[in-house]
Amino acid sequence: MTEEKKNQVIVVGHRNPDTDSICSAIAYARLKQALTGVEHIPCRAGMVNPETQHILEKFHIPVPELIEDVRTQVKDIEIRKTKGVRSNISLKKAWSLMKDLGVVTLPITQNNRLEGLITIGDIANSYMNVYDSAILSAACTQYVNIKETLEGNVVVGDEKAYFDKGKVLVAAANPDLMESYIEENDLVILGNRYESQLCAIEMSAGCIVVCDGAPVSMTIKKLAEAHQCTVISTPFDTFTASRLINQSMPIGYFMKTKRIISFDLEDYTDDIKDIMASKRHRDFPVLDKDGRYQGMISRRNLLGMKRKQVILVDHNERAQAVPGIESAEILEIIDHHRLGSLETISPVFFRNQPLGCTGTIVYQMYQEAGVEIGPEVAGLLCSAIVSDTLLYRSPTCTAMDKQVAEQLAEIVGIDTKQLAREMFAAGSNLKQKSEKDIFYQDYKVFDMDGTTVGISQISSMDGTELTEIKKRMQPFIEQMKNKHKVDMLFFMLTSILDESTEVLCDSTGGVQLLEQAFPGCKSLESAVTLQNVVSRKKQFVPALMMVMQS
């Protein structure tokens, strides 16, 4: 893993993100990068809703990267960039590479695709095992390997050709006896005796290895060329040459090609550590999503792995955070909600203010740092405030939110009322959506004194649209309650113009809870109408929690 990759910080909002969550993440990532020089990547923990999509397109901002889990992955740990080798290099060369690199495993690749692995153990076994004299040709050994292993040179013949027929033998007898055991295509190791060299060539040997650095006469060279016999000269004596020659065999003959355990860059370390612990292998190859070889890892790499570094915006509850947050290193939390259930390993920078929008806090941080806000960021933050405060109608809205939004609108040169009409129109086009898409447009889970409560909310300026959606969503929320295994589930249909909310409940118990939380509310079957209630954060959730706690 490169140093650049290590220093990346993820800036992300809550699951099922709204406009504030997305826009604040983008704006804050830009601020942090400007202040620190470290790459901060704005991300999203869910699908972008139509309102937010409209804003991103309006200000020409790309949709942030989707991140579905922040657990540590293979790509986050130190990957040893052991270069892949060709399958036709010699055992001796592979051994030397391992010693130079300080590794016990070499990956064998072709066009950056993993073909196999060879270990020091495989090479040691090749030395210790007893092979017949035809093993060199059976392994289809290239003459260049023999030349390099014997530290010699090819006097006659093509070093790129292969010794693929015949056996290896040492010519220690006189020429008369040699004729009885040399066969066609054999490789013969011999000394400087002219008669022995001549005999081997005339018996149609495929190759002769002349030892002790003895000169090869012109006559022998011409005869070898005529008989298509390769001649290799080596400075080693006959004993040493015969001992070393098996080390010239290609590693492809000994490499492991079956049942290789490899990992993907995207694999989570939680998922692979048990596999690594259960196998005796020292090293494991890493591939990318397209199957290209990337490097090697071992169990030791897991000991020093670093968690993903994350900054959370617009939430501080574990149930709303991106999956795997408990395995990440949280650096900062920027939020405007109540304090939630999220725990951190070490102290973090935590900024929480009773404002209507996280975007307002981010604006303040730009001002405090003396960083200029350009039109793009101003447009994002203004949109976030308009969205979260329902154009200042929400009880969560403060004078600071309205002041900041209007100042940002001046930077961009837009009218907040016109912006609100565009945004809400884009976001309230719900008729063509499925029940699932509508439900997840803005769904959050809250822990209320040990009771798990799921709350989904939609807002629209069209009362007829809300009436039609209510009919569709009533039977759907029961399915969602079972799916998410929450104790209670509510679906809020908020009318922006009427400044009221109709709440669908999953059971009669939900209706009774709302009647206690909002005395005087109107209830009909499994639906409750709440006048002057538009904010889930400041009105709906606090009222429910008061009842739960009492």
The pLDDT value recorded for residue 63 is: 97
Q: Are residues 320 and 402 in the same domain?
A: yes
Q: Can you tell me which residue has the tokens 């008669």?
A: 195
Q: pLDDT at position 538, please?
A: 82
What is the chain's pLDDT, residue by residue, as a tens digit (550 residues)?
A: 444 455 799 999 999 899 999 999 999 999 999 999 999 999 999 999 989 999 999 999 999 999 999 999 999 888 999 999 999 999 999 999 999 999 999 999 999 999 999 999 888 888 776 577 889 999 999 999 999 999 999 999 999 999 999 999 998 777 778 888 889 999 999 988 898 999 999 999 999 999 999 999 999 999 999 999 999 999 999 999 999 999 999 999 999 999 899 999 999 998 998 888 888 788 999 999 999 999 999 988 888 788 899 999 999 998 899 999 999 999 999 999 888 878 888 899 999 999 999 999 999 999 999 999 999 999 999 999 999 998 998 888 999 999 999 999 999 999 999 999 899 888 776 777 889 888 988 888 888 888 889 999 988 877 888 888 898 898 888 788 778 788 899 999 998 878 899 999 987 788 999 999 999 898 887 899 999 999 898 899 999 999 988 7
> Is residue 241, in this structure, part of any structural domain at all?
yes
Structural domain containing residue 502? 435-549
Token duo for residue 198: 């001549």
User: Domain with 296 in it: what CATH number?
Assistant: 3.10.580.10
Asked if 16 contacts 443 with a C-beta cutoff of 8 angstroms, the reply is yes
Q: What is the DSSP letter of 80?
A: B
In sequence order, the 6+-apart residues with CB closer than 8 A to the CB of 437 are none
Q: Are 495 and 466 in contact (CB under 8 A)?
A: yes
Residues 311 and 265 in one domain: no
Contact 11, 311 (CB under 8 A): yes
Same domain for 320 and 404? yes
- Do 416 and 325 lie in a common domain? yes
User: Do 272 and 177 share a domain, yes or no?
Assistant: no
How many domains, the chain?
4
Q: Is residue 381 part of a domain?
A: yes
Cut 0.95: pTM above it: no
Burial status of residue 111 (CB atoms within 10 A of its CB: 0-12, 13-18, 19 or more) = exposed
Of 377, 388, 302, 280, nearest to 51 by C-alpha is 388
At 243, which CATH number?
A: 3.40.1390.20
